[in-house]
């Protein structure tokens, strides 16, 4: 089944009316008295009340608690503020009414930039939306513009899962992503807070983070991340570093011991790649050319999906 296109829900929230084709002029002729009939008037599409733009006082607009984006570049906001000062706000903010105020659904950057230049009023379109719809729309808007860092994106998916009891598959459908993308994003939240900060700041890539996830001990994760940043290691070099650290166990301040051999970094990387392909938990066992691959599924539908990916007919 094809997934809905990204932004389908956002399009519904933003409103819009169907385009009605303009009828062509009709001409009528007879053999003896050719005549022509004037074009019929073009029917006008009904006005959608949801498209009505209002102007409201800026101090009546409040940020949304479900906004997945937490980091706003001061420099980018200033540039946007300068543009608004010259051109005004071209695209209205999307809001919902809440406790006598207007709560943002989409357009927080424009709202923040408007504050910088002291605008008194802003254009808004008011929508009816529940909490889940607001979170979905905020996620979709930011994903369309690629405004979220990897941790913000992962936290948005996690909030849909935890707060609204959605499965990863349901989240993927709603935001127009694959199940594998959602699952891999959620795995980033298993990293230590320090490494999540590196991801937020763009000092580590998602590729580096996936390799570092092969380390279970938090001190080793942090050590690996700091080495990657300091030495400018690429992903393949990070795999080699992780392989060495997998045999190292913290034994108190400044002390380390040797741990029993763990999964080789290359095996861990292959396991991650299989997991990304099938979009579910995978465990790869390998030793001396032998082993097994265990693929987990949690419903008949998920099993059918995995079989389709593997090219196996379930019938």
The residues, ordered by sequence, that sit 6+ positions from 180 with a Cβ below 8 Å of its Cβ are 275, 276, 277, 278, 279
Instruction: Report the alpha-carbon distance of residue 176 to residue 184 in Å, rounded.
Output: 15
- Residues 209 and 287 reside in one and the same domain: no
- Residues 139 and 230 reside in one and the same domain: no
Q: How far is CA 310 from the centre of its chain?
A: 27
**Residue 228 — pLDDT band, cuts 50, 70, 90?**
very high
What is the crossing angle of helices 300-310 and 265-278, to 10°?
A: 110
Containing 295, the helix (H) or strand (E) segment is: strand 290-295
203 pLDDT higher than 80: yes
Which one, of 257, 221, 259, 256, lies nearest residue 241 by Cα?
221
Average the pLDDT over 191-209 and give the result. 90
The pLDDT mean for the chain works out to 76
Domain that holds residue 216: 193-258
Identify the pLDDT of residue 44: 52
Active centre residues (catalytic):
108
Instruction: Report the alpha-carbon distance of residue 235 to residue 241 in Å, rounded.
Output: 10
121-170 residue pLDDT tens: 999 989 888 887 887 777 777 666 666 788 888 888 888 888 778 888 88
Find the CATH number of the domain harbouring 115: 3.90.1530.10
Q: And the tokens for 10?
A: 């956002």
**Residue 20 — pLDDT band, cuts 50, 70, 90?**
very low
Identify the pLDDT of residue 256: 46
Which one, of 5, 315, 17, lies nearest residue 176 by Cα?
5
How many separate domains does the chain show? 3
- Residues 178 and 278 reside in one and the same domain: no
């Amino acid at each position: 089944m094809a997934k809905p296109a990204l932004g389908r829900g956002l399009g519904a929230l933003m409103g819009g009316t169907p385009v009605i084709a303009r009828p062509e002029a009709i001409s009528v002729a007879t053999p003896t008295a050719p005549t022509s009939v004037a074009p019929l008037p073009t029917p006008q599409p009904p006005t959608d009340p949801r498209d009505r733009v209002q102007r409201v006082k800026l101090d009546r607009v409040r940020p949304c608690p479900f906004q997945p984006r937490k980091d706003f570049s001061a420099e980018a906001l200033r540039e946007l503020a300068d543009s608004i000062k010259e051109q005004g706000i071209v695209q209205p903010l999307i809001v919902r009414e809440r406790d006598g105020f207007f709560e943002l659904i989409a357009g927080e950057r424009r709202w923040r930039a408007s504050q910088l230049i002291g605008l008194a009023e802003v254009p808004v379109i008011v929508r009816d939306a529940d909490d889940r719809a607001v979170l979905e729309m905020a996620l979709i808007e930011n994903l369309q513009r690629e405004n979220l860092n990897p941790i913000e994106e992962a936290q948005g998916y996690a909030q849909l899962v935890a707060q609204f009891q959605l499965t990863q598959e349901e989240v993927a459908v709603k935001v127009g992503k694959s199940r594998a993308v959602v699952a891999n994003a959620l795995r980033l939240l298993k990293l230590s807070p320090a490494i999540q900060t590196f991801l937020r700041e763009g000092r580590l890539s998602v590729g580096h983070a996936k390799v570092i996830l092969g380390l279970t001990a938090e001190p080793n994760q942090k050590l690996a991340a700091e080495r990657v940043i300091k030495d400018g290691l690429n992903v393949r070099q990070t795999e080699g570093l992780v392989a060495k650290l997998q045999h190292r166990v913290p034994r108190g301040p400044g002390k380390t011991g040797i741990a029993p051999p763990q999964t080789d970094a290359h095996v861990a990387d292959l396991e991650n790649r299989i997991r990304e392909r099938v979009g579910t938990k995978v465990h790869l066992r390998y030793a001396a050319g032998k082993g097994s691959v265990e693929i987990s599924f949690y419903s008949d539908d998920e099993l059918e999906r995995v079989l389709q990916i593997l090219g196996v007919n379930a019938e």
